Amino acid sequence: MSYELIGISVLWLFLYGYVIIASIDFGAGFFAYYAKATKRDHIINQIISRYLSPVWEVTNVFLVFFFVGIVGFFPTTAYYYGSALLVPASFAIILLAIRGSFYAFENYGSKQSNVYMFLYGATGLLIPASLSVALTLSEGGFITEQDGVVSLNYWELFTSPLAWSIVALAIVSVLFISASFLTFYASRADDKTALDLVRKWALFWATPTIIMALTTMIALSQRNQRHYENMLDLWWVFGLSMGFFVIGMGLLYVGKHYGKAFIAIMLQFFFAFFGYGIAQYPYLLDPFIHIEDSVTNEAMGIALIAAFIGGLLLLVPSLILLMRLFLFNADYAKGKK
Amino acid sequence: MEFDTVMMSRLITAMTLTFHIIFATLGVGVPLFISLAEFIGIKKKDKHYELLAKRWARGFVITVAIGVVTGTAIGLQLSLVWPNFMQLAGNVIALPLFMEVFAFFFEAIFLGIYLYTWDRFKGKYTHWLISLPVVLGAGISAVFITTVNSFMNSPAGFTMINGEFTDVSPIGAMLNPSTPVRVAHVLGGSYVTVGAILATIAALALLRKKTATEYHKKALKMTVISVFVFSVLTAVAGDASAKYLAEHQPEKLAAAEWHFETERNADLVLFGWLNDDNEVVGEIRLPGFLSFLAHGSFNAEVIGLEETPEGERPPLWIHYMFDLMVSIGFFLVGISFLYLVLTFFKRWNANNKFMLWLIAASGPLAMLAVEFGWIYAEVGRQPWILRGYMTVDEAATSSPYITHMFFLFLALYIVLGALFVITLRKLFKNNPAAVELEKHYPELNKGDK
Ligand code: HDD
Ligand code: HEM
Ligand code: HEM
């Protein structure tokens, strides 16, 4: 495997990691607000805050890892995406800033105010929507380059069915992933009432997720024929994704093995995400950035991969420690510690 | 001044960094002091220090939150605002940026564990050990990012052929000529600043209230001793920085010192201003000291600004930035030394009002020194973004929306800054140390507070 392929695979893997753990966080924000608005917050908010408190910062680093890494491996992305994304990415930064800092502020405030809960819930949906713009742009046709000036065609973007279906897909996936995780976490914590509530949400959001996935495929076929056909060639990957979806839903439905159900759903997204990514090969930005042409020099590529391996050796044990202390520690989840 | 996209790009970057550096400095330094306090507390079996560590950690969570969100902003903005720079420089300097993320990861994970496990382990030292990765992670991330900034000042680790970097050596780029002195100076500056700010808090508490004095006195002593140690180290490293400049970036030193003609036995010019003929008036002149600062000998030759082509000279107002930073540096060394002398001779009261007010001033001043230092370093690099290779004009984005984004971020930082202050006040006003001592450590007798 050439080093540019290693690079993009690692980055894609981390982006997938971000999608999962950030979805849990973002969705939880929305559910917390929804529960409060419908006067059910006493049921689930305890669970939500016990899980989220220790990990939000780690979640954020996944995102930082991705964008620092992609600019490192493929410096040309800084030029095209950096120029084109000034406005959407700035909005994403602002939303992330509101969310991250308010989280810390509120944690120490006496009572959770309604304004805060609203912002917390709303940013949970708006952030995935604004970040997903980058995926839309990669399909091509939105970014133009003229006389050395790269610009984004906003009209084209806002009238594009593909853009809107990707936004919708991002939002419903967030809610679906989050609800299925919370189901697992509530069962860990032995909290029956919370479990019933979040399980219902998980079952509910499954349907829109699948519908939006199919809608996005159709919109993609109109925008980028090449990408779409590559995806059809990878039909078995998406078949696997569908299979895991069915398994996950089945387990949620019969109300057993919530941990395995969540793993199945993670795998569902894993295969869909990688199928989508592999089909985009060889472009990072159709037609401007080609993986092989835009990759950094060999010395830097190898140095980055070496740094990555060294970093993982440090990180994996630390992450395991974190998870054992908070996530998989039944006493902690139950609120005893 | 023209407010074109280049100017707005510079302003937005300057704004974000000036804001970020406050929290970055705290983020680098505070873990060290938390760790120290917890260690002393365990060692001496002194609950006061344990409470110090806990209270500092609680405040720290909030500074970290803003550090992380503003850091994420600047990380993205580097690509959004300077796409041409990142495309070019990324080929050589991506490695430390990438490794910095791992340092963040490491720090974030252990910080999460540290904050939520005060009473979960049997051995007291186990919890303290968890603070070490946090201290280390914060320090290392500062080292990595500082190498990036050093690279912009003294690019190394490549050869340039036809506008393309070849023969790239990522390690060589990290270990460029200005890295060693700059890393030492930035780390020292962070520790001294945090020490001074924590000392300010203790001094203000002693000035205002008569409760829990023992607790605050211990905090004061520990932090002022640290200020002394780190301010001396920072000054030494700052002196080394000046010697580096004299050798590798003479135009920056010359602009900061208003040293226009190359000469031996050059005078050090302090403060003053420039008249219409660009002559220095109203200054304090230390004969020969510039030569000494630049080369360690009163007779050495110092290169003047005349040798730099006119279009490549940094603005002359950085003189004030440099002078203010250095003055504050000497102030910090002086104040902390005075306090130590007073405590050494038990007959004198080290915690007298005058002394406490001086110490109270040192925290904000130290933070100002950090800001002045950075402004000096960054503006002194003008017009280059990558000295000798790429100018700021060539690097900036061409997007016309940059002006809107500037005001959007300005609003964000105002909100964040205000909330930061409000939250910290709420956190500590409603829960003073005296109350907490009473509640959690009733075993400490009254006289001991
Ligand atoms: C508390 C903070 C603090 C204090 C007391 C000082 N400095 Fe400083 N200085 C910094 C904080 C700082 C900084 C913010 O960390 C800078 C900005 C860029 C850098 O590398 O460090 C800096 C830059 C900086 C530079 C420019 C380096 C460059 O651009 O390459 C020089 C020459 C000095 N300093 C010299 C000094 C001297 C002689 C001091 C005497 C006491 C001093 N500094 C005190
Ligand atoms: C250590 C990492 C740093 C990096 C990589 C960095 C990078 C940059 C870049 C890309 C610019 C824009 C180009 C220019 O105008 O020269 C800039 C300018 C600037 N930065 Fe830094 N910077 C760093 C640290 C800081 C810090 C901590 C401060 C805090 C005070 C700061 C203050 C400024 C200012 C004031 C400018 C504007 C200079 C001008 O426009 O004349 N920088 N920096
Ligand atoms: C010398 C100047 C700087 C120092 C000492 C510094 C240090 C720090 C510290 C201590 C934090 C908080 C991290 C944490 O507590 O987890 C932070 C956050 C961050 N900084 Fe800076 N920083 C500096 C300048 C910059 C610059 C120029 C960049 C741009 C590349 C940058 C990128 C970031 C990012 C992306 C984060 C957020 C990381 C996260 O999500 O945890 N920093 N920085």
CA distances from B369 to A4, A199, B255, B366, B419 (A): 43, 55, 19, 5, 24
Predicted local confidence at residue B190, as pLDDT = 95
pLDDT in tens, B198-217: 999 888 888 887 676 778 88
Task: Place B26 in a pLDDT band, splitting at 50, 70 and 90.
Answer: very high
Ligand 2 contacts CB of residue B148 (under 6 A): yes
What is the β-pairing status of strands B280-281 and B384-386? unpaired
Whole-Å CA distances, B399 to B5, B115, B230, B329, B402: 7, 42, 43, 41, 6
Q: If we measure between CA atoms, which residue out of B217, B284, B286 comes closest to residue B49?
A: B217
State how far the Cα of B19 lies from the Cα of A97, in Å rounded to an integer: 13
Q: pLDDT tens digits for B292-302?
A: 787 777 777 77
pLDDT above 80 (res A244)? yes
CA distance A142 to A135: 11
Q: Compute the average pLDDT of residues B13-27.
A: 93
Q: How far is the CA of B65 from the centre of ligand 3 (A)?
A: 11
pLDDT at residue number A106: 67
- Give the range with max mean pLDDT: B120-124, B320-324, B341-345: B320-324
Model pLDDT, residue A54: 55
| Nearest atom (ligand 3) to Cα of A63 | 40
Confidence of residue A55 (pLDDT cuts 50, 70, 90): low
Across the range A161-174, mean pLDDT stands at 88
Q: How far apart are the first and last CA of chain B?
A: 58
Query: What's the one-letter identity of residue A219?
Result: A
Q: Higher-confidence residue: B22 or B58?
A: B22
DSSP class of residue B380 equals T
**Range with the largest mean pLDDT of A24-28, A215-219, B334-338, B391-395:** B334-338
B56 or B427: which carries more pLDDT confidence?
B56
pLDDT at A305 over 80: yes
B145 lines ligand 3 (CB under 6 A): yes
List, in order, residues 6 or more apart from B202 with CB less than 8 Å away: B216, B217, B219, B220, B223
pLDDT at B2: 65
Distance in Å, CA A71 to ligand 2 centroid: 19
Q: How many residues does chain A have?
A: 337
Amino acid symbol at A277 = G
Which of the four pLDDT bands, split at 50, 70 and 90, describes residue B381? Answer: confident
Which residues are bridge partners to B56 per DSSP? none
A262 sits in which H/E element: helix A258-280
Cβ of B392 less than 6 Å from ligand 2: yes
Nearest one of B110, B116, B115, B127 to A331, comparing CA atoms: B116
Per DSSP bridges, beta strands A289-290 and A283-285 are antiparallel
Q: Do A326 and B116 touch (CB under 8 A)?
A: yes
User: Where in B235-394 does DSSP place strands (E)?
Assistant: 263-264, 268-270, 273-274, 280-281, 284-286, 301-302, 384-386, 390-391
Q: Report CB contact under 8 Å: A89, B61.
A: no
As a whole number, the mean pLDDT across chain A is 81
- Residue B374's pLDDT is 93
Cβ-nearest to A71 among B86, B133, B398: B86
CB contact under 8 A, A101 and B79: no
> What is the mean predicted confidence (pLDDT) over A216-223?
81
Q: What is the pLDDT of residues B395-437, one digit of tens each?
A: 777 777 888 888 999 999 998 888 888 888 877 777 777 667 7
pLDDT above 90 coverage of chain A, percent: 0
DSSP string, B95-153: HHHHHHHHHHHHHHHHHHHHHT-TTT-SSHHHHHHHHHHHHHHHHHHHHHHHHHHHHHH
Q: What is the pLDDT of residue B449?
A: 40
Banded pLDDT at A325 (limits 50, 70, 90) = confident
Question: 0.80 exceeded by the pTM?
Answer: yes
Shortest Cα distance, chain A CAs vs residue B96, angstroms:
9
A214 has a chain B CB within 8 A of its CB: no
Q: Which of A245-249, B367-371, B442-446 has the highest mean pLDDT?
A: B367-371
Residue A104 forms contact with B (CB below 8 Å) = yes
pLDDT of amino acid B447? 44
Mapped onto helix, strand or coil, the DSSP state of residue A73 is: helix
CB B168 within 8 A of CB B72: no
- CA dihedral in degrees (A209, A215, A218, A219; nearest 10)? -110
| pLDDT per position as a tens digit, A200-209 | 888 888 888 8
Contact B79 A71 (CB under 8 A): yes
Residue in this structure with the two tokens 């060394």, named with its chain if needed = B333
pLDDT at A329: 59
pLDDT attached to residue B30 = 93
- Residue B366 above 90 pLDDT? yes
Look up residue A119 and give its amino acid: L
* Ligand 3 contacts CB of residue B137 (under 6 A): no
- Model confidence at A21: pLDDT above 80: yes
Taking CA atoms only, the protein residue closest to ligand 2 atom 3 is: B149
Q: What is the dihedral of CA B245, B250, B256, B258, to 10 degrees?
A: 150
By Cβ distance, the residue of B77, B112, B170 closest to A299 is B170
pLDDT at A121: 81
Other Cβ atoms closer than 10 A to A226: 14
Would the CB atoms of A96 and B69 count as touching at under 8 Å?
yes
B166 lines ligand 3 (CB under 6 A): no
Q: Are A61 and A318 in contact (CB under 8 A)?
A: no
The pLDDT of residue B9 is above 70: yes
Q: What residues in B contact A110, CB-CB < 8 Å?
A: 426
Which atom of ligand 3 is nearest to B69's Cα? 37
Among A328-332, B258-262, B445-449, which stretch is predicted with the lowest mean pLDDT? B445-449
Nearest Cβ partner of A299 from B81, B83, B168?
A: B168
**Is A86 in Cβ contact with B95 (below 8 Å)?**
no
pLDDT of residue B52: 86
Q: A112-126, A236-250, A285-299, B435-449 — which one is most confidently predicted on average?
A: A236-250
> What gap in Å lies between CA A136 and CA A159, rounded to an integer?
12
Least confident of A95-99, A263-267, B124-128, B281-285: B281-285
In this structure, of A222-226, B179-183, B189-193, the range with the lowest mean pLDDT score is: A222-226
Give residue B448's pLDDT band: very low, low, confident or very high (50, 70, 90): very low
The residue to mutate among B16, B18, B20, having the most atoms of ligand 3 within 8 angstroms of its beta carbon, is: B20
Give the per-residue pLDDT at A328.
Answer: 60
Q: Distance from A54 to chain B by nearest Cα, in Å?
A: 5
- Tell me the average pLDDT across B81-110: 86
Residue A110, pLDDT above cutoff 50: no
Cβ atoms of B72 and A110 within 8 Å: the answer is: no
Q: What is the pLDDT of residue B196?
A: 94
Chain-wide mean pLDDT for chain B? 84
Distance CA B59, CA A108 (A): 10
Q: Where are the domains of chain B?
A: 5-238+322-448
- At residue B444, the pLDDT reads 57
| Cβ distance of B83 and A97 shorter than 8 Å | no
Give the span between the Cα atoms of A25 and A61, in whole angstroms.
Answer: 13
Q: pLDDT class for B331, splitting at 50, 70, 90?
A: very high
Q: pLDDT tens digits, residue range B131-174?
A: 899 999 999 999 999 999 999 888 888 888 877 777 778 888 88
- Per-residue DSSP letters for B197-265? HHHHHHHHHHHH--SSHHHHHHHHHHHHHHHHHHHHHHHHHHHHHHHHHHHH-HHHHHHHHT--S-EES
Please check the confidence at residue A76 and state whether its pLDDT lies above 70.
Answer: yes
Distant-in-sequence, close-in-space partners of B367: CB < 8 Å, separation ≥ 6: B22, B25, B193, B197
- Is A58 in Cβ contact with B108 (below 8 Å)? yes
Distance of CA B44 to the CA centre of its chain: 31
Q: Which residue has the tokens 């030492």?
A: B184
Least confidently predicted of A55-59, A180-184, B126-130: A55-59
Evaluate: CB of B29 within 6 angstroms of ligand 1: no
Residue A58 near residue B116 (C-beta atoms within 8 A): no
Rounded CA-CA distance B380/B413 in Å is 25
Q: Are A279 and A234 in contact (CB under 8 A)?
A: yes
The residue with greater pLDDT, B33 or B208, is: B33
Binding site membership of B186 for ligand 3 (Cβ less than 6 Å):
yes
Q: Atom 23 of ligand 2 has which residue's CA nearest to it? A: B149
Residue A114 sits at the chain B interface (C-beta within 8 Å): no
Q: Is B245 in the pocket of ligand 3 (CB under 6 A)?
A: no
Backbone angle region of B267, left / alpha / beta, with phi > 0 → left and psi within -120 to 50 → alpha: beta
